[in-house]
Amino acid sequence: MKAVVQRRYGTAVLGELDVPVPGPGQVLLEVRAAGVDMGTWHLLAGKPYLVRVIGFGFRGPKVPVPGRDVSGVVTGIGPGVTEFAVGDEVFGTCEGSFAEYSVAPVSQLARKPAGISFAEAAAVPISGGTALQGLREVRAGQRVLVLGAGGGVGSYGVQIAKARQAHVTGVCSTRKMDLVRSLGADEVVDYTVADFTGTYDLILDCGGNRSLSRLRKALTPRGTLVLVGAETGGSLTGGFERALRAAALNPFTSQKLFLLMSKERADVFDELRVLIEAGEVKPPVEREFPLPEALNAIDHVYSRRSLGKVVVTI
């Protein structure tokens, strides 16, 4: 099969690999599309270096094919699998979706939402799942601030918070304002002109790396700060120190401050399927790249040219 093959950090080429064989609890997928997000770049580059230490491979990547977000058709069933049958259309995450075939654990797959394309389905799992898990506590009428509202996680964050009937303020740069408005944000702030003001019940922080004290001042006394991530924290830890400070402070304040560690799980993807089929969430796919151009797709996301989600189609 054709696959993007990555033997060391920082580079990958289109090559040929054997079709993988599904093990217990896994299915073989004919991959139709693979989503791209900042995490795809992190694992390709091996940066911040923290990703090498936490299990993705110290000297080189453990998994030789990039890509985790996936949509496709089940073409083989591993031992013990009863959840899916050959021919089922699914989406979720796996290890190595930039390939014609990939194996995926059924614990990370759900049925593909009806009424959307494979490309749209592949744009959902990690970004949509992260936003969903970050917004668990949101209730109708609450004020939610989404920082990085025009990015992968933020674009789902705006839509999911609106689906929960919150009042949503999205913060983004000038060229993403129309996108964020179209996602349903009640207010849109262009951070290149002036930063946000006001107080919020929940802040979903997906970009900008603002200081903890700045964010806490914008929270209500019992508000929640969900640190998702940022790209300005340096190549060693990627800004993880801010999350450590939040964890250290959390027991001593009425506010709730935490780093989100999102889970890639079938039940999360099923919840997203329901939201999509109800018309409450729409995958904001900006651009599709064919498999041979997968590295261009990653660069498009990394260089912040994307307006919404980017997908590799196979």
Ligand X SMILES: NC(=O)c1ccc[n+]([C@@H]2O[C@H](COP(=O)([O-])OP(=O)(O)OC[C@H]3O[C@@H](n4cnc5c(N)ncnc54)[C@H](OP(=O)(O)O)[C@@H]3O)[C@@H](O)[C@H]2O)c1
Which residues in this chain contact ligand X in the complex, by CB under 6 A?
37-39, 126-127, 130, 147-148, 150-154, 171-173, 176, 191, 206-208, 228-231, 260-262, 304
Distance, in Å, from the CA atom of 314 to the CA atom of 111, rounded to the nearest integer, reads 19
Nearer to ligand X, 54 or 261 (CB): 261
First to last CA, the chain: 11
HSE-up of residue 104 (Cα within 13 Å, Cβ side): 35
Residue 302 CB, nearest approach to ligand X (Å)? 8
The widest CA-to-CA distance across the chain, in whole angstroms, is 57
Compute the least distance from the CB of residue 201 to ligand X, in Å. 19
**Shortest distance in whole angstroms from residue 105 CB to ligand X:** 18
Spatial distance between the Cα atoms of 159 and 58, rounded to a whole number of angstroms? 37
CB 91 within 8 Å of CB 121: yes
Closer of 27 and 145 to ligand X (Cβ): 145
Residue type, 150: G
**Nearer Cβ to ligand X (113/308):** 308
Q: Is 147 helix (H, G, I), strand (E, B) or coil?
A: strand
Nearer to ligand X, 2 or 304 (CB): 304
Contact (CB, 8 A) for 256 and 225: yes
Closest approach, Cβ 177 to ligand X, in A, equals 9
Question: How many CB atoms neighbour CB 136 within 10 A?
Answer: 12
291: left (phi over 0), alpha (psi -120 to 50) or beta: alpha
Residue 51 or 77 with smaller CB distance to ligand X = 51
Q: How far is the CB of 71 from ligand X (least distance, A)?
A: 18
The CB-of-200 to ligand X minimum distance in angstroms stands at 14
Whichever of 111 and 302 has its CB closer to ligand X, that residue is 302
Q: Calculate ∠ Cα 65-12-64, nearest 5°.
A: 25
